[in-house]
Amino acid sequence: MKVTRMLSILFLGAGLLHGSAQAFELSFPSPLRNNSHTYYAHLPGMLPGGHSFFEGFIRSLAVWMDASGNIRLSAIDEEREACSDNSIGSTQNGVNTATFSDSFCGDDSYFAGPTVADAVTQTSWNPFAILESDIIFNEGRKPLFETVEHYFHHVAVHEIGHTLGFGHSAVRSAIMVSRLSHGRRDPVLSIDDRCALAMRYGNPADCPILLGEGLATNGRDTNARFVGGATTDRGWSFHQQFEPSDRITIYGTVVKDRSHARRPGNLHVVASTEDGVLFARHADGNFHPLADVESIPSAGELKIDLYAQDLVIIGTRHFGREPSVGPLIGTVYQLVGQTVYFYLAYSLDEEPGVYYYGSEPIRVSWSDD
């Protein structure tokens, strides 16, 4: 059986790019086996608050479990080999671990040199289940983990998210954002992280920004789902009503039909005014009038290795993703007193002219008083 591996590397606050990162993303269609996972966590040392790293790791597991109710995560305080004997940079030995090390199973490229990662997680899976995950925390960062409050907890919650099958998020409030700003506060899951949990381990309806039912323009049933919303506070909250001067960012995520894994295609966004005038988002990030609804321009490429893929529909510049088009401001675009409806969709190269889309749009309204 084909087993796939993925590396997720976390750089904190260093301003570095990594991965093919993008609202929430799901790396692969497989969940945890039996929705449960046990780590052998050998994490000697103490956190700033007087608890051990092991206790801290348990607390990090609980952040996800408390938010889901459908997953069971546990850790055993026991030293086990993290690395495979077979090759450098491989953790695939059948044991889930969480450890400190100064190299990633003999590969020194992540924890040394100009790009220093706080942790690297390697996950392997087959089409049915996540088989193994290993989190290796950078031993060289231990002095920071030991002294900076919340730092280790942030990194651990993020890395555990990868072991649940979550990729990176474009939503700045998400714990799964590719560039975490650590410390200062206790990590909490954002709406985006909760939607990732709902899509993978819960009920899609538990995601508060689910865009209705998934539909196909050819009338076929689909289990595709669409998520998205407009925010002025980095995704901590999503709204429909805005003040004319609000700086609005709109995030969306396409969760592909399960039969569409590994099929190439495109993302699409269509905006409609109240009068039914249509615009399509182009790959350059801008919206242009839509002439033909049977042939919608691409807003970006559908990535075959992602099960769920996100898109910043409109928003301020963010890190290494789509082009920046700036926030949507009602006064700037003369939209005060108006409502604009944004529909999120995708298509497959093998089915030209067929669009999979969310039945409900993202609504953005500006009051005129």
Question: Which residues contact Zn ion by CB under 5 A?
Answer: 8, 10
Q: Which is nearer to Zn ion, 157 or 312 (CB)?
A: 157
Closest separation between CB of residue 12 and Zn ion, Å?
10
User: Do residues 287 and 280 lie in contact, with contact meaning Cβ atoms separated by under 8 Å?
Assistant: yes
Element (H, E) at 200: helix 191-201
Q: Which of 41, 24, 6 is nearest to 130 (CA)?
A: 6
Shortest reach from residue 29's CB to Zn ion, in Å = 19
Could you give phi then psi for residue 67, rounded to 5 degrees? Answer: -80, -20
CB nearer to Zn ion: pick between 98 and 224: 98
**What minimum distance in Å lies between the beta carbon of 178 and Zn ion?**
6
Closer to Zn ion at the Cβ: 8 or 30?
Answer: 8
CA 215 to chain centre: 23
Amino acid letter at 276? G
Q: Residue 366 in 3-state DSSP? A: strand
| Smallest separation (angstroms) from Zn ion to the CB of 136 | 13
Tracing tokens 């086996």 back to the chain, one arrives at 33
Smallest CA-to-CA distance from 163 within 13, 18, 27, 2 is with: 27
User: At its nearest, how many Å lie between Zn ion and the CB of residue 159?
Assistant: 7
Burial string for 35-47 (b: 16+ CB within 10 Å, else e) reads eebebbbbbeeeb
Cβ closer to Zn ion: 20 or 339? 20
| Cβ distance to Zn ion smaller for residue 84 or 163 | 163
